[in-house]
Homo-oligomer: A and B are copies of this chain.
Amino acid sequence: MSLLNLESTELAELSQKVRAEYEELKAKNLKLDLTRGKPSAEQLDFADELLALPGQGNYRTASGEDVRNYGNLKGIEDIRAIWAELLGVSVDNIFAGDSSSLNIMFDLVSWSYLFGNNDSERPWKDEEKVKWICPVPGYDRHFTITETLGFDMVTVPMLEDGPDINAIEELVKDPQVKGMWTVPVFGNPTGISFSEEVCDRLAAMETAAADFRIIWDNAYAVHTLTDEFPVIHDVVGKAAAAGNPNRFWVLTSTSKITHAGGGVSFFASSADNLAWYSKIAGVRGIGPNKVNQLAHAKYFHDAEGVKAVMRKHAGSLAPKFDAVLNTLEERLGQYEVARWTKPTGGYFISLDVIDGTANRVWELARDAGIKLTEAGSSFPLHQDPNDRNIRLAPSLPPLEEVTEAMDGVATCVLLAAIEKLEGK
């Protein structure tokens, strides 16, 4: 019973019904928020113990370093070793920083612009133009960084197994193309993970720019919604094997594992890339908050400890994702007015509605007291050329609110589609 195939009387009937539902929805005076990928209070409580760590008298690393004093730009090995294991890289190839990996990404890109990176002929600021590959839909905060630096953002579509690798292999023949954003596992907002083939081809492809870099923002590397953890491809190793050792800047953090914005970030890369980063980071400051790093190391103990925490998160998040997917299926499945991703990890579901109606859905939801991420926000400059995509973030509200909000969103999607069909 696709909406498109309805007889006009059937459409009129449905229209009346959906309009009535929308009026009921508005009458509820809801105040619901599905905008950002924030952990819920229940999830934050998992790390309660961390609030009292490292604990009085505990300030030495396993190697005897006093974390309370200055020094050690790389961060302490106690926590670096855990993430080296999780990411499948050597402990020598990973730094532990302050709370935010986004901070490090901004520095990497802006320092390449300002000074050039270790493979640059000149600072990117002195290039005629800098172009940057942006798989869409993608992470809004990534795009804002390259927007702020004035780069030309070239989009490629996200497919089932990652970004369109054929298109990327063509684009990188242009020497002005200096880099690319990715969220390779449980991506924001699609939840898609890159296949090994895509990883291999990204590692091996020839790029015209020697200083081309892929920002491998593995923010959701261990953020499963099931009993299984995703395979983490060692792209640093793959790229080295393919003769492109400096291709990847790999980032992740504990933001959605312990305290959002108060955790530990990680930066893994080749020795040369880390040396280049250190040279400037060592001018910017002396080193990261090692007390917080030791607290985290004591909280997790080891890589298995991280996975144990992530299973708790999955237990809290999976029912919310189920609620979204079930509501979408029940309310919209039959009408063929929307498609959505069905992630097995991460923080988001990507919802595509009928072309030209995403903004209207957002508006209708807003007027009914349901805050959605602004339509278009998963695209560079917030411009979705098809006005089609909406990012759903079900983590923060309690389960019953997620269900209620999604039921409302379904009504809005349907109403916007009907309005369009009615030529309104």
Interface residues of A (CB under 8 A from B): 36, 38-39, 41, 44, 47-49, 51-59, 66-71, 98-100, 102-103, 106-107, 110, 113-115, 125, 141, 144-145, 148, 255, 259-262, 280, 283-292
Residue from B48, B57, B106, B290 within 8 A of A285 (CB atoms) = B106
Residue from B36, B66, B114, B289 within 8 A of A98 (CB atoms) = B289
CB <8 Å contact, A284 and B103: yes
The residue of chain B having its C-beta at the shortest distance from the C-beta of A291 within the complex is: B262
- Chain B residues, CB < 8 A from A56: 48-49, 51-52
Task: Tell me, in angstroms, the Cα distance from A289 to B296 when the chains sit together.
Answer: 14
Residue from B44, B103, B141 within 8 A of A68 (CB atoms) = B44
- Chain B residues, CB < 8 A from A69: 38-39, 44, 259-261
Nearest-Cβ distance from residue A398 to partner chain B, whole angstroms: 14
Nearest-Cβ distance from residue A163 to partner chain B, whole angstroms: 23
Given contacts A58-B51, A284-B106, contact A70 B38 (CB under 8 A): yes
CB <8 Å contact, A71 and B285: no
- Most chain B CB within 10 A, of A98, A114, A125, A288, is at A98
- Chain B residues, CB < 8 A from A59: 44, 51
Nearest-Cβ distance from residue A48 to partner chain B, whole angstroms: 5
The residue of chain B having its C-beta at the shortest distance from the C-beta of A101 within the complex is: B285
Given contacts A59-B44, A69-B38, A70-B261, contact A285 B51 (CB under 8 A): no
The residue of chain B having its C-beta at the shortest distance from the C-beta of A49 within the complex is: B56
Residue from B55, B98, B261, B262 within 8 A of A99 (CB atoms) = B98
Residue from B38, B145, B284 within 8 A of A102 (CB atoms) = B284
Task: Tell me, in angstroms, the Cα distance from A290 to B283 when the chains sit together.
Answer: 25
- Chain B residues, CB < 8 A from A292: 262, 289, 292
The residue of chain B having its C-beta at the shortest distance from the C-beta of A69 within the complex is: B260
- Chain B residues, CB < 8 A from A41: 66
- Chain B residues, CB < 8 A from A287: 261
Nearest-Cβ distance from residue A11 to partner chain B, whole angstroms: 43
CB <8 Å contact, A70 and B36: yes
Task: Tell me, in angstroms, the Cα distance from A25 to B52 when the chains sit together.
Answer: 47
The residue of chain B having its C-beta at the shortest distance from the C-beta of A40 within the complex is: B69
19 A-B contact pairs sorted by A residue (CB < 8 Å): A39-B68, A39-B69, A44-B68, A44-B69, A51-B291, A52-B52, A52-B56, A67-B262, A69-B261, A70-B255, A102-B284, A102-B285, A115-B148, A144-B283, A145-B283, A261-B286, A261-B287, A261-B289, A262-B291
Task: Tell me, in angstroms, the Cα distance from A149 to B100 when the chains sit together.
Answer: 25
- Chain B residues, CB < 8 A from A290: 261-262
CB <8 Å contact, B286 and A102: yes
